[in-house]
Structure 1
């Protein structure tokens, strides 16, 4: 069987993903939303927060927003899951504070089945919020401030975010940081989990997602996010999200286009 992924939007901008993976390996990436997934079949291996977690059927996978992670099949059979990608503002409103999941892969078959039913039915916002609130009550706490990152890392991150069109060389970034190249690489990877150029790719992917969700065409999303062309954007979307850029367009935007608006 081949890998299959379906993207759609539910209430309040929650992105609903239904996926079956047999061979796909996700490269390190992050989402602007919180990811709340229920595994229906198989086992996924997730690299997250410096370790590898295994997520079998009947378990939840809970990933904080803006946190880099990667995934792969843990067995030859791969895994199936349903994911709620919840805007950070909505989950913060439900929690009353910026939440941080204290359990990443809890085995909770009852709650997993409930989330699957809601996901499959496209339930109203009230029912979805009630289930998300239960997830928060069981497995989240107040966000703990991250350790203060080195000033040189912060300086490089800001420079990368300021110009997505430019791909600076490592020598250029080392000069900006005022330290040797390999020392910068070690410091940056220790603070962010990726290299400077890996971080720049995350910024570009995030910006492209935002443009696509707002209804802009793929060509514009590619150009304004710093990708060479549409095929370059497609290639990186497939590696990071196992999906095409078009799948991130909101359903209401797509419907509006069909009506000619």
Structure 2
């Protein structure tokens, strides 16, 4: 039997980020098989189309697989993770994500979906393959947001996290106040909130979906992203946000957002 040639290596394809100068809309194209994200959240609505391949997701603690033709909606502040794969496409994957501020939805007179969720919309997903420029992105959103709102009512495709008790909500609010005030350690969070470290760990893990250390790092990364968009150089941002060095900062930034600080700075300049 003749020897088979070795399989071709799958090239490393960087995620492509584009900032649109309309209410700070952001478009990101993810193309790398095997790319993974650590638990994180966004301050905007996230709308994503699985154009090719699949994404193994966990949103608000609920795991699911979004496949080719699916459109995903993730509400602001909802913790999620993901991992891209393309078992039927020889390593080729394409997921288009749009990050949409509430201000844009209000300007357009659009109501967001009631919940996060995933809906099979093959035609709309395919149209996200080659969105180019502000006009096409906004036209796609004007179609997909109402369609998601109609589909993501209370039902099997909606991801509705359970509601915490009043005491748990109050503790989470105290944690957020402490973090906003500059607290950077789990012990400091516990002291500020007047509870044990174990209580902070239990509440954040169960109701936020992240261990306290991961939550604090995510807050630092969100602060870093805002500093980058304000024009701060990456090296200065890394130091200001408590990362050991720029390489360490870049690694965690990419694992959270899918692209590097340098990619974001270039997108901000191009936008």
* TM-score interval, normalised by the smaller of the two chains: 0.7 to 0.9
Unaligned runs of 5+ in 2: 1-9, 154-159
1:73–1:252 distance in 2 versus 1, CA, 3 Å? closer
Query: Counterpart in 1 of 2:175?
Result: 156
Q: Which residue matches 1:204? A: 220
- Number of equivalent positions: 246
Judged with a 3 Å threshold, the aligned counterparts in structure 2 of structure 1 residues 122 and 101 are, in CA distance, closer, same or farther, namely farther
Pairing 1:215-230 to 2, within 5 Å after superposition = 215-230=231-246
- Aligned-pair distance for 1:61? 1.7
Whether 1:53 and 2:64 are equivalent positions in the alignment is yes
Partner Cα separation in structure 2 for residue 130 and residue 235 of structure 1: 34
**Which secondary structure state, in structure 1, belongs to the residue aligned with residue 82 of structure 2?**
strand
Alignment partner of 1:134: what SS? helix
Match of 1:107 among 90, 105, 120: 120
Are the equivalent residues in 1 in contact too, given 2:14–2:259 (CA < 8 A)?
A: no
**Which of 159, 163, 167 does residue 184 from structure 2 map onto?**
167
Query: Are 1:3 and 1:24, in contact at CA under 8 Å, matched by a contact in 2?
Result: no
Distance 1:244 1:128, change over 3 A: closer
Give the CA deviation at 1:182: 1.8
Task: Note the 1:10-21 alignment, pairs <5 A.
Answer: 10-12=20-22, 13-21=24-32
Question: SS of the residue aligned with 2:207?
Answer: helix
Is the contact between residue 55 and residue 84 of structure 2 (CA under 8 Å) also seen in structure 1?
yes
**How far did residue 72 of structure 1 move?**
1.1
> CA shift at 1:96, angstroms?
5.1
Task: For residue 16 of structure 1, give the secondary structure of its aligned residue in structure 2.
Answer: strand
* 1:78 Cα offset (Å): 6.9
1:64-90 alpha-carbon deviations (Å, 9 max, x no partner): 222210001356447321111222321
Give the alignment's TM-score, normalised by structure 2. 0.79
Task: Pick one of 129, 143, 157 that aligns with 1:116.
Answer: 129
> Counterpart of 1:84 in 2: which secondary structure?
strand
Distance 2:189 2:50 in 1: 41
- The 8 Å contact of residues 110 and 145 in structure 2, kept in 1 or not, is answered as no
How far off its partner does 1:252 sit? 5.5
**How large is the Cα RMSD of the aligned pairs?**
2.7
With the length of structure 1 as denominator, give the TM-score of the two structures.
0.82
Give the conservation status (yes or no) of the 8 Å contact 1:153–1:177: no
